[in-house]
Structure 1
Amino acid sequence: MRDAFDLVIRGGTVLDGTGADPIEADVAVTDGRIAAVGKVSGRGAEEIDARDRLVTPGFVDVHTHYDGQVTWEQTLGPSSGHGVTTVVMGNCGVGFAPARAEQRDLLVRLMEGVEDIPGVVMTTGVPWNWETFPDYLDALDRRHTDIDFAAQVPHSPLRVYVMGQRGADLEPPTDADLNEMRRLTAEAVRAGALGVSTSRTMAHRFKTGELAPSVPTEDTEILALADGLRDAGTGVFQLVPNNELDPNTQFALLRRIAERSGRPVSFTFLQDPGWPGGWRDILRSLETARDDGHSIRGQVLARPVGALLGLELSLHPFALHPSFRPLRDLPLPDKVQAMRDPGLRRRLLAEQPEDPNPFFKFVISDHESLYVLGDPPNYHPAADDSISAKARRDGREPLEVIYEALLERDGHEILYRPMGNRDGDRFESAGRDMVPHDLTVLALGDGGAHYSTICDAAYPTYFLTHWVRDATADRRIELPQAIRMLTTQPAAAVDLGDRGVIRRGAKADLNVIDLDRLHLHAPHTTYDLPAGGRRLRQRADGYDATVVSGLVTYLGGEATGALPGRLVRGARRSSAAA
């Protein structure tokens, strides 16, 4: 007898992604769609026993940078190892299209500076079989991966494509330039781009210190991109604000974009130490904008935003010192041996960092906010736990103890440098309001980028443990709401209404999770990028199965080899039956 369904997940605790209470049910799948939820009598060609397990929609991550990785490999990790089944890339105004042949090197150098992707990895891995953004989408259409992916058209490549060297040199655009950027934005969205993105943050620079082309542009250029969305009649707008401006000034531009485009807007929302309490002003502005009929959401990370430092990584407190430069490209054992030399130690401790990029110097220069990350990783350390605080309690110089910490575990030790989302020495005061707010969306995983400085793509696992299972009563987010925050909420923020929910007719992207066993391991370094490039990976236990378009892609944490992931072209209205 023919099986009634392709897949049946039996007897799990189903959280449908809407925030509704969980139910005990079976979930049946046929032709990549959910065919039934409830008591399913028909058999499946494949069955998964989900007793004592959670069954959730696949998670949606709206802030990634897999623009390059998707062209050279078929696994969009770390995201796909943490229950994520759809990612949105092309954020922060950087990417690889549109690009003329003579502009490719500039885009490689830009991604190297802004997103910490080694240049040799990109020159080896990116095939460049496109010029326009529609060409890029056509190239992506031929890619098969473990999860779905959607793309946004990035402002910096678009500016340089239209203006040539004038765009790279940060010259102001002409009216003709603005009209062409507007036209190409609409063209990209009509071809299937999910939206357009830009960045105004002064942290986004080439390694040599020059600002990314989008950063110093006038508001008129940003609004030309918004006009492109209005012309297309669809699409979303993503922006990284200039955090040197006061929160009200930052939000004024976001509001103008929403008014001009008539489309949803989202932005990187951090608790900036330069504006203590400014996050409250942003939340009030979000609520006012909603009341006035505009769709604006803040993208938040559910823990302090920070960098990972170490001898095996891109940055550490001595990485920019003159005496360290000859060691920079040595194998790790050789670095460790050299740094154990007393003479080199004295020179490094006496020197100051030298680099043209002020953001790199900012990251490594705050010795008071350095912590050993540990395993399991501790992303919420108290100020008294810093290496410097412990050194002073022992009557020692902090920098000497930091030097010794870098050499622990034969140089594999990872130090944690929190930079944003901290109120004094804590995150919880702002986090309790920012994270669960209806006008914020969990994001900022940055998968596919920052290969040797950040490993935040594991945030779904962290969120489900720190904020749900292991949370104290004063910060706990209830499980139905938490699953909604990982599924329907981010999907709705980018107009992907066909996923993020368990309902008949919805796309069959699913997770089977053993919440009691869910565990996030410490990041570790691998050398498996093109040209042997390094990256941080972070494993998780507790994901029994992940399903994409009805096919099981991960079982017991191991890849099955199924590659159902495809390019998602444009907005998707819900096809699920009510």
Structure 2
Amino acid sequence: MYDIIIKNGNIVDYDSNTLKAQDIGIKDGKIASIGRVLTNGKVVIDAEGKIVSPGFIDIHMHEELIGNTEDGDAYDIANKMLQMGVTTCVGGNCGNIRQSIGDFLGYVEKYGAPVNYMLYTGHNYYRNQLGIDRYREATKNEILKMIELIRNDIVRHGAIGLSFGIEYSPGISFEELIEISNSLRDYDILLSAHYRKDAKEGVSSIKELVRISEITGLPMQISHIGSCIAMGQMIEGLEIIREAIING
């Protein structure tokens, strides 16, 4: 006896690039069987004419401001993503988080959420918290304070890593990026970055992010490749990334 049977749904077969009508049997929260003419389900869902797929993972979203919304829809973005089939979202991208990770995850823990969240903590957020103008470099003391705050959010709240929005705060120096990233080498985290410049400066921006990963030994996810090097530089930019991956 299955808890749920989803009948007649189309499942994508990526080996043959075709759709196949199949039944899916679910028991104890897990897929127990995939086949045809499954019976004996406590709940039977007819999915004829529809595609049945695992939930999508969106690795780049900007989480909403929750718990303090004017319209009362704390999960405005998450609900729309769920409607598109996204069940896991990675927020905190581009250096900006809308509120502290502690406040955000505290609300999720108390009230639940329509999607699963994984969060970066944002470098630009801490710059703003310390009143650092986006056009100037941070001082040594300001960098040390940011490191303290970032480490706290990684340890206490489980941030998956640190994101940078370099283009949004052009005063961020390469040295600032390296010093902060190096301070996190003992943690199992990721780095993510919105590049410094695009168009004719796109390739040099990609090289900067690759260099950060090389120096720190931390993996780097580069956001918005499609727009950063769209001006006829895609092949060159992707080759730089490919070589960096091959070289570890």
TM range (shorter): 0.7 to 0.9
Q: Which amino acid aligns with 1:199?
A: G
Write out per-residue CA displacement over residues 547-566 of structure 1, whole angstroms, 9 at most, x where no aligned residue. Answer: xxxxxxxxxxxxxxxxxxxx
Write out per-residue CA displacement over residues 107-162 of structure 1, whole angstroms, 9 at most, x where no aligned residue. Answer: xxxxxxxxxxxxxxxxxxxxxxxxxx33442233223233222222111111233x
In the alignment, what sits opposite 1:26? 23
In the alignment, what sits opposite 1:6? 3
Q: Which amino acid aligns with 1:67?
A: E
In the alignment, what sits opposite 1:226? 181
In the alignment, what sits opposite 2:221? 265
Q: Are positions 1:160 and 2:155 aligned together?
A: no
- Mapped to 1, the partners of 2:23 and 2:55 lie a distance apart of 16
- Alignment gaps of 5+ in structure 2: none
Q: How many aligned residue pairs are there? A: 239
In the alignment, what sits opposite 1:145? 113
Displacement of 1:266: 2.5
Q: Which amino acid aligns with 1:93?
A: G
Displacement of 1:255: 0.7
In the alignment, what sits opposite 1:246? 201
In the alignment, what sits opposite 2:138? 173
Write out per-residue CA displacement over residues 262-310 of structure 1, whole angstroms, 9 at most, x where no aligned residue. Answer: 224222113469x7311221111121112112xxxxxxxxxxxxxxxxx
- Mapped to 2, the partners of 1:197 and 1:83 lie a distance apart of 25
Contact 2:82 2:114 in 1 (8 A): yes
Q: 1:252 to 1:47 in 2, by over 3 A?
A: same
How do 1:104-119 and structure 2 match up within 5 A? none
In the alignment, what sits opposite 2:161? 195
- Mapped to 2, the partners of 1:158 and 1:50 lie a distance apart of 47
Q: 1:272 to 1:292 in 2, by over 3 A?
A: closer
If asked which structure has higher relative contact order (CA below 8 Å, sep 6+), I would say 1
Q: Are positions 1:277 and 2:229 aligned together?
A: no
Give the structure-1-normalised TM-score.
Answer: 0.37
- Mapped to 2, the partners of 1:199 and 1:220 lie a distance apart of 15
Runs of 4+ in 1 over 6 A off after TM superposition: none
In the alignment, what sits opposite 1:91? 93
- Mapped to 1, the partners of 2:88 and 2:120 lie a distance apart of 14
Displacement of 1:218: 0.1
Q: Are positions 1:215 and 2:170 aligned together?
A: yes
- Mapped to 2, the partners of 1:157 and 1:227 lie a distance apart of 19
Contact 1:5 1:30 in 2 (8 A): yes
Displacement of 1:182: 3.0
Q: 1:141 to 1:178 in 2, by over 3 A?
A: same
Q: Which amino acid aligns with 1:192?
A: G
Displacement of 1:95: 2.1
- Mapped to 2, the partners of 1:61 and 1:284 lie a distance apart of 24
Q: Tell me the SS of whatever aligns to 1:36.
A: strand
How do 1:460-539 and structure 2 match up within 5 A? none
Q: Which amino acid aligns with 2:83?
A: G
Q: Tell me the SS of whatever aligns to 2:219.
A: coil
- Mapped to 2, the partners of 1:45 and 1:229 lie a distance apart of 49
- Alignment gaps of 5+ in structure 1: 99-132, 205-213, 294-578
Give the structure-2-normalised TM-score.
Answer: 0.80
- Mapped to 2, the partners of 1:33 and 1:183 lie a distance apart of 41
- Mapped to 2, the partners of 1:24 and 1:225 lie a distance apart of 51
Write out per-residue CA displacement over residues 380-439 of structure 1, whole angstroms, 9 at most, x where no aligned residue. Answer: xxxxxxxxxxxxxxxxxxxxxxxxxxxxxxxxxxxxxxxxxxxxxxxxxxxxxxxxxxxx
Q: 1:288 to 1:83 in 2, by over 3 A?
A: same
Q: Are positions 1:58 and 2:13 aligned together?
A: no
Q: Which amino acid aligns with 2:87?
A: T
Q: Tell me the SS of whatever aligns to 2:125.
A: helix
Q: 1:272 to 1:169 in 2, by over 3 A?
A: closer
Write out per-residue CA displacement over residues 159-212 of structure 1, whole angstroms, 9 at most, x where no aligned residue. Answer: 233xx23x13644323343233334333323322232212122xx4xxxxxxxx
- Mapped to 2, the partners of 1:24 and 1:238 lie a distance apart of 41
RMSD in angstroms over aligned alpha carbons? 2.9
Q: Tell me the SS of whatever aligns to 2:23.
A: strand
Q: Tell me the SS of whatever aligns to 1:246.
A: helix
Task: Answer 1 or 2: which has greater strand percent.
Answer: 2
Displacement of 1:71: 5.9
Write out per-residue CA displacement over residues 491-528 of structure 1, whole angstroms, 9 at most, x where no aligned residue. Answer: xxxxxxxxxxxxxxxxxxxxxxxxxxxxxxxxxxxxxx
Percentage identity across aligned positions?
23
Q: Tell me the SS of whatever aligns to 2:63.
A: coil
Write out per-residue CA displacement over residues 79-109 of structure 1, whole angstroms, 9 at most, x where no aligned residue. Answer: 22222222222222122334xxxxxxxxxxx
Write out per-residue CA displacement over residues 210-248 of structure 1, whole angstroms, 9 at most, x where no aligned residue. Answer: xxxx33210122223423542212234232432266233
Contact 1:13 1:51 in 2 (8 A): yes
Q: Tell me the SS of whatever aligns to 1:15.
A: strand
How do 1:288-437 and structure 2 match up within 5 A? 288-293=243-248
